[in-house]
Amino acid sequence: MLLPNTGEGKEIAARVGIKLSSGVITDAIGIAPDLTVTKPVLAGSYTVTARAVHGIPVVTVKPNSIDPAEPTGGAPEVVALDAGEPGPAARVTGTAAKPASRRPALQEARIVVAGGRGVDGDFGPVEELADALGAAVGASRAATDAGWIGHDAQVGQTGTTVSPQLYVSAGISGAIQQKAGMQTSTVIVAVNKDEDAPVFEIADFGIVGDLATVLPQAAAEIRRRRSE
């Protein structure tokens, strides 16, 4: 049984695992035909294989980790289930409209552009490049703690763990806490003025330069090529 690697998906997986007396594996980035699961451990420092040995394996899969296959066969059978009596209902004390955004959700985005301390309070260049790429906007803990962007944008061990096909790190040093949240990305591009920044150790492509100059140039070039 496959479920999304979200908070809700993990909660469902845990409850299903108890009901079925089955093994549960979270954070999967690959599943073999014999149901062996590949997943990162220790904040993404290592990749291991695991396999459930009891019941029907219940696995939560990280977004962008597995390419969807073309459907085969007929239409799936739809089975209506009785959810039973609900538990105590929550009491709503107030509501507020969430600002509309055309950007994808951070955890599920195929492309993420993240800014850190190097943005110096201005996420404009990061957002400009993200919009040109159709990407989500992320941030380091230093940026969210400074109040430059909401905490829901934080990428890292204590924030959101992402695994996009492309991760652009702008003005982020790349400390271990931040690496833990993004180092399973397929391609990592780092932009930093400090050529000795730790993020360059894991980056596939690195640019030593001022993000306030590099990112707008990249965004302009992307828009130019798309308009051709």
Where exactly are the structural domains of the chain? 2-61, 111-227
CA distances from 102 to 48, 64, 151 (A): 36, 19, 19
pLDDT at 99 over 70: no
| 2-61 against 111-227: fold identical | yes
pLDDT in tens, 199-216: 999 999 999 999 999 999
What's residue 70's pLDDT?
A: 78
pLDDT in tens, 142-195: 999 999 999 999 998 888 889 999 999 999 998 887 888 898 899 999 999 999
pLDDT at 98 over 70: no
CATH of 2-61, one of 3.40.50.620, 3.40.50.1000, 3.10.20.30, 2.60.120.330: 3.40.50.620
**What tokens appear for 86 in the block?**
């609900």
What's residue 59's pLDDT?
A: 95
What's residue 21's pLDDT?
A: 92
**140/77 Cα distance (integer angstroms):** 44
According to CATH, the superfamily of the domain at 111-227 is TPP-binding domain (3.40.50.1220)
**What tokens appear for 182 in the block?**
């993004």
pLDDT in tens, 56-70: 999 999 888 877 777
**147/105 Cα distance (integer angstroms):** 20
Q: Mean pLDDT throughout 4-13? A: 90
Give the predicted TM-score (pTM) of the model: 0.66
Q: Mean pLDDT throughout 19-32? A: 92
Of the candidates 21, 64, 65, 18, which has an alpha carbon nearest to the alpha carbon of residue 39?
65
pLDDT at 120 over 90: yes
What's residue 165's pLDDT?
A: 95
**46/184 Cα distance (integer angstroms):** 10
